[in-house]
Amino acid sequence: MKRLLVAFSILFGASTTLAEYGMIPHSQIKYGEGYALKGESTVQVTNMPKVRSQDSFGICYAAVAAVLVDEANCVQSGNASCATAPDSQRVSALDVTRYSRAPEEGADGEMWRDYKGLNEGGMPVFTLLNINKAKDAVSEQCAPTDQIVARAGSEQAAQDLEIAMWKSLKDSYESFRKKNAECTECGLEYATAKANDIKQNYNLKASNKEILDAFSQESYSLFLDKLLIPKECRKMSDMISLEGKWAVKSFPMEGEKGDYKSSINKVKEVLTQKRPLALSFCAQDPLSVKSNKACGEIKDASGNVSGAGHAVVIKGYREICNSKGVCRQELQVQNSWGEGWQKSNDDGWVDAKELLDRTFYETYALNWLQPRS
């Protein structure tokens, strides 16, 4: 998602219903009488990695890219049960966020270390292009998303704790920068106290020294990098490589016509080749914008900028038809809002047109990894 605030508004809106965000589940679609699944219309990638959960961190794009990388590695290894792959064989969605931006000037981008800093916003296409070039990412086992997940008795309590955590981390970093600029000793004293608090209050794997070192970084994204990716994870034994030779494909490309018909046909074509796709769309509710750029630049009454961009994996297609031959199309998505969302939303089967219309059929809305010959 575009910014940290996005995750809060998308995931946890108090007055939400299941039929929001452009993903209307099958059970809530009013088809009318006589509709049934059209025989032989279903196309699925069934051997998929397990569903991820981004929780309150705005990294849907990285969660989607991580699923596609894990699936590609599953294909290369011949694993018949991708969903049971251990965390030692899955890439860390937190670490994948480093690939949302180009490396620093002068770096060729072919090494993991060229990409510095963890980022809250990004797009699947650029993330996939970068990780396909650099190949490596830290394992989920070494840098788990779980380390930033609140443990609470209810979803609301967990939400409140996680929102408070992110606000506290960012406020702490910014306060340190201000104090350090005024008084180096004051900054060190403040950072030391905060490092101890962070280690005590949160489930981070970084040591106290690493947390303290994180405060000295020149940007918040570098601070998060040091905080969430412990030094021990930089060993080759804790790195996962994108195996095999892959090309990152997108639709529509520059100069290609994007509309519902061409997009749904492309989805079916790619799924027939047993390749899942990443989809970027506007999850604003109600939808009032007409472009993804506008979707990511929403201002509230106070002038605060947030956004409602989201990304999911498409892993299935089917048609629901009546006796008169009138058909509706559905897509199966794998969402990074956890197993609970999948189970309560018909395992991700949603209305195809409502979802694809929210891409505005802009360039690079659909992305996938295709084997090179």
Strands 277-282 and 309-321: antiparallel
Contact 70, 119 (CB under 8 A): no
- Summarised one tens digit per residue, pLDDT across range 319-333 is 999 888 889 999 999
Q: Is 70 exceeded by the pLDDT of residue 155? A: no
Q: What percent of the chain stands above pLDDT 70?
A: 87
> Which of the four pLDDT bands, split at 50, 70 and 90, describes residue 243?
very high
pTM value is: 0.89
pLDDT value of position 161:
63
**Where does CATH 3.90.70.10 sit in the chain?**
4-142+238-371
Q: Is 90 exceeded by the pLDDT of residue 148? A: no
pLDDT value of position 151:
53
pLDDT value of position 154:
54
Alpha-helical segments (H) within 327-366: 338-344, 352-357
Q: Is 50 exceeded by the pLDDT of residue 125? A: yes
Q: Is 70 exceeded by the pLDDT of residue 302? A: no
pLDDT value of position 171:
92
Q: Is 50 exceeded by the pLDDT of residue 46? A: yes
CATH of region 4-142+238-371, choose from 3.30.70.1170, 3.90.70.10, 1.10.150.20, 3.10.290.10: 3.90.70.10
Sign of CA dihedral 285, 290, 294, 299: negative
Residue in this structure with the two tokens 């509230």, named with its chain if needed: 300
Q: How far apart are CA 215 and CA 189, in angstroms?
A: 11
pLDDT value of position 167:
81
